[in-house]
Amino acid sequence: MGKSLVAYFSASGVTEKVAKNLSSAIGADLFEIKPEQVYTMADLNWMDKKSRSSVEMNDRSSRPAIASKVADMTQYDTVFVGFPVWWYREPSIIDTFMEAYDFSGKKVIPFCTSGGSGLGDTAKNLQQLAPGAKVVDGKKFSPRASEKELKEWADQLLACVYEKQKG
C-alpha cells in the first residue's frame, strides 16, 4: 500500500474533526478543500432556496472555486475525500476537487458527516468525475468518531481493496 491523502471540505468544522482524526489514525497527509469564497451561515441556510448552497446544489454543473491545490497529487495511491452531506450527496465543491486532478489508477474513498442522510449516490458521482480511479463505497461517520474506529475502518477497507487487485 502506498501513500494516502485525506482531502476534506468542512463548512462548519464537523467534517474537519473527522478528517484530522482519520489522517492521524492512518498516517496520511491532510489537505483542506477551501473555497475561494468562504461560506457564511446565510450561504448554508438550506431552507432558503436562494442561499448560495441551495443554488449550487440545484445546479449540477456548479463548480465553486477552490482556494489552493494539492502540490503533488501523483504521490498518492489512495485519496480519502471527506465532506458534509448536502441534499443527499457531496457538495458541489467536491465535484470541483475531483475534476481538478487526474485520479487514474488511484483508489478514492469518500467519507462524510451528516445529521441524517448517508452518502447516497456519491460513489457513483465521484466515479463519473474520475473515470480512471477506483471509487469505493465510503461511510458516514459521527462527529465523535474516534481514531481507533477510523483506523479499523480504513485498514479493513484498504485490505479489501488491495486484495481484490491481487485476485
Q: What is the pLDDT along the chain (167 residues), one digit of tens a residue?
A: 579 999 999 988 999 999 999 999 999 999 999 999 999 888 888 888 898 888 888 888 889 999 999 999 999 999 999 999 887 889 999 999 999 999 999 999 999 998 777 788 899 999 999 999 999 999 999 999 999 999 999 999 888 766 665 55
Counting the structural domains of the chain, the total is 1
CA-to-CA distance for 9 and 103, rounded, in angstroms?
Answer: 18
Cell triple for residue 125?
Answer: 458521482
Domain that holds residue 144: 4-166
Strands 139-141 and 134-135: unpaired
CATH number at 31 reads 3.40.50.360
Entry field: residues in the chain: 167
pTM: 0.92
Which residue has 475561494 as its cell numbers?
36
Q: Which helix (H) or strand (E) holds 54?
A: helix 52-58
Output DSSP code: residue 11: S
